[in-house]
Structure 1
Amino acid sequence: MKTPRDVQAGPSPLTPEWRRWLVENLLRGTLPRELVAALEKAGVGAEDARRAVEAEQTEPFVAGALRAVGMQRKLEGLLDVYSELFQQTEGPPRVERHEALTPAVFFERYYFENLPVVLRHGWSASLEQEAWTPARVAALLGERAAKYACCVPLFDEPRWEPLVRGLTSPRGYAAEEARACEPRLWWDPPAAEVPLRAARRNVLLAQVHGVRRLQLVPAFELRRVAASDEPGDAPLSLDVLLSPGELLLLPVGWWYGFTAPDGGVAVSFEAFALPEPNVTWDVDAEPQPSPLPPRD
């Protein structure tokens, strides 16, 4: 609990600095009785201290802020519960890998449970391998653009025609029509490093060339990701090594970052073999106002 530098003692009204102190600590979740005790210790009369705290609690702007902060605190507590449950599994938390995984199990155990998984699939064998080599992709990007990691839609520009010619999606997992899957080319030059970012949709990432070292942070670590600069409260992170021929499900709401020591090429798909469309987490959505109060 923070305290201000200056105190106006006795039964006199609180100074603006003291009022700010009261509001700040109410929003931090400090109990009213602790605030009354702090005021009394600073020299404010018992009755004035009690009335001052009650007045701030009932002030309309403070009451609205307390309600909003209270809901945020409940949501953060629920996410912390999910984090504890996730870490109670046998052995350290990890991303599961499968040499063979049926689509039914893929969706029930991982997609709908919002969990990542790595599986090996023969999809990459259907590509025209000569067109997808790092040298060929770099040439299509151009000398300047090829120096930087990028993720670009494959059906938006004619220059990607050599790559999309005959492009198919991983059967059983992604939607059958490649264009409908909104495929994207992931290009990584040697020594590429991409910091953590949020997966706004479920993404099926297929590694074609090179090795990708990923860092995955679960969606329920939202509070810790947002407070990553605070020491001692680092988010849970899972390491994944993705090799050519392997597919990774990046679940919506999870954070991912990666390095590609030797560079690499991958393709992602965002439409799945399900009747329901992919879900989207709009992290930049403007908050909607709460219901209007009744008019007098």
Structure 2
Amino acid sequence: MEQWRRWIAENVLLGSAPEAIRAVLVQNGFDAAEAGREVDAALESPYVQGGSRVANRLRKREWALTVYGRLARMRAGSGVVERRERPSRDEFFEEYYAQNRPVVITGMLDAWPALGKWSLDYFRDRCGDREVEVQFGRESDANYEINGPAHKRVMPFREYLDLVEKAGRTNDFYMTANNGSRNRDALDVLWSDIDPIDEYLDGDARGKSFLWLGPAGTKTPYHHDLTNNFMAQVIGRKHVKLVPMHDTAYIYNTVHCYSEVDGSDVDDARFPKMRDAQVHECTLAPGELLFIPIGWWHYVEGLDTTATMSFTNFRRDNDFAENYTTYQHL
């Protein structure tokens, strides 16, 4: 019964009509009179009434974000991820970083040795015997990203590369940022193939960069990060869907920074509000750099075997996690 009372209180605070709450209770076996008493008790509870004031404040903030989103849609080019050839430092930070707007940057990685060298065979030759950490068993767990620590496995890099090469299309295994701490040292011989992006980054990427490596079909579900991020594509292509931070109300965020929505196949019946979210899409090719602004929800799918580097060491303030406290269920 306590679980149902929590459900009643939550729906009262969410603004559901009392008669609708009663109807659901009756559909789930409650006597109509009992359902009425429970809903009335919630409505009269000083705790719920106090919570209603907090809920009203949150609705005000949600309204403000909705207004901001509507205004953003009026901007020329809204809904499109811009592509820019080597914008200057000032242009990037003023037009995209400070304005919380994504952009695909071309030309900035042209001198990277990795673009000409990196391949599965090259990885085998350079560091195939190193022990790496990888995510495994993802396809058997709908919440594989949330449960990431449970999917970690250590194995020789050579064995993982063989799996990637023979896999075909799968999301069952993937080397991700969740494996970054171990792999950063294990694969250190590769970092000399990555030139600093001094125009935008502070030059010291160690500890703030991550290698993502997997077969075609790898997926990163809709989530937002607590930092601004660069995604630098080296091998293969990735398709990216992005939803602005101001559309958070439509993304069904119930745990920490994760969405319940499957970006590969949105269930409109289950998630009708997603129709109101403005989804920006782009395909990232080798040598291209995608700026993902903090708070923007993004879903990423590998179209080919892919290798990607991500960076967070920008030349501007990128420490936004200090006051973030909602790591729990929302």
Q: Under a length normalisation based on structure 2, what TM-score does the superposition of the two structures give?
A: 0.65
Structure 1 residue corresponding to 2:55, chosen from 46, 56, 69 = 69
Give the corresponding residue for 1:255: 297
User: Which consecutive unaligned segments of at least 5 residues does structure 2 have?
Assistant: 1-16, 24-32, 131-156, 165-172, 254-260, 262-269
How big is each residue's C-alpha offset from its partner over 1:182-219, in whole Å with a ceiling of 9 and x where there is no partner?
Answer: 11001131232332122221011111111111011111
Give the corresponding residue for 2:174: 149
The range that moved more, 263-272 or 81-90, is 81-90
The range that moved more, 182-191 or 145-154, is 145-154
- Alpha-carbon shift at residue 284 of structure 1 (Å): 3.9
The 1:193/1:80 distance shift into structure 2, 3 A limit, reads same
How big is each residue's C-alpha offset from its partner over 1:71-100, in whole Å with a ceiling of 9 and x where there is no partner?
Answer: 221122122112211211235521111113
| Kept after mapping to 2: 8 A contact 1:272/1:278 | no
Structure 2 residue corresponding to 1:18, chosen from 36, 49, 55 = 36
Q: Under a length normalisation based on structure 1, what TM-score does the superposition of the two structures give?
A: 0.72
Give the corresponding residue for 1:279: 320
Give the corresponding residue for 1:209: 235
The range that moved more, 103-112 or 258-267, is 258-267
Quick one: percent identity of the two aligned structures?
Answer: 25
Q: What is the rounded CA distance, in whole Å, between the counterparts of 2:113 and 2:90 in structure 1?
A: 25
Q: What is the rounded CA distance, in whole Å, between the counterparts of 2:58 and 2:71 in structure 1?
A: 20
Q: What is the rounded CA distance, in whole Å, between the counterparts of 2:306 and 2:108 in structure 1?
A: 18
Structure 1 residue corresponding to 2:226, chosen from 191, 200, 213 = 200
- Alpha-carbon shift at residue 110 of structure 1 (Å): 0.6
Matches within 5 A, 1:94-113: 94-113=80-99
The 1:154/1:18 distance shift into structure 2, 3 A limit, reads closer
Structure 1 residue corresponding to 2:249, chosen from 220, 223, 232 = 223
The 1:79/1:22 distance shift into structure 2, 3 A limit, reads farther
Q: Which has the larger radius of gyration?
A: 1
- Alpha-carbon shift at residue 283 of structure 1 (Å): 6.4
| 3-state secondary structure, aligned to 1:65 | helix
Give the corresponding residue for 1:80: 66
The 1:285/1:159 distance shift into structure 2, 3 A limit, reads closer
The 1:78/1:273 distance shift into structure 2, 3 A limit, reads same
Structure 2 residue corresponding to 1:133, chosen from 101, 114, 119 = 119
The answer on 1:164 being equivalent to 2:150 is no
Q: What is the rounded CA distance, in whole Å, between the counterparts of 2:67 and 2:311 in structure 1?
A: 31
Which amino acid is 1:143 matched to?
E
Q: What is the rounded CA distance, in whole Å, between the counterparts of 1:23 and 1:131 in structure 2?
A: 68
Give the corresponding residue for 1:244: 286
The answer on 1:265 being equivalent to 2:307 is yes
Size of the aligned set, in residue pairs, is: 245
- Alpha-carbon shift at residue 124 of structure 1 (Å): 4.9
RMSD: 2.9
| Kept after mapping to 1: 8 A contact 2:201/2:314 | yes
The 1:137/1:239 distance shift into structure 2, 3 A limit, reads farther
Q: What is the rounded CA distance, in whole Å, between the counterparts of 1:76 and 1:248 in structure 2?
A: 28
Give the corresponding residue for 1:35: none
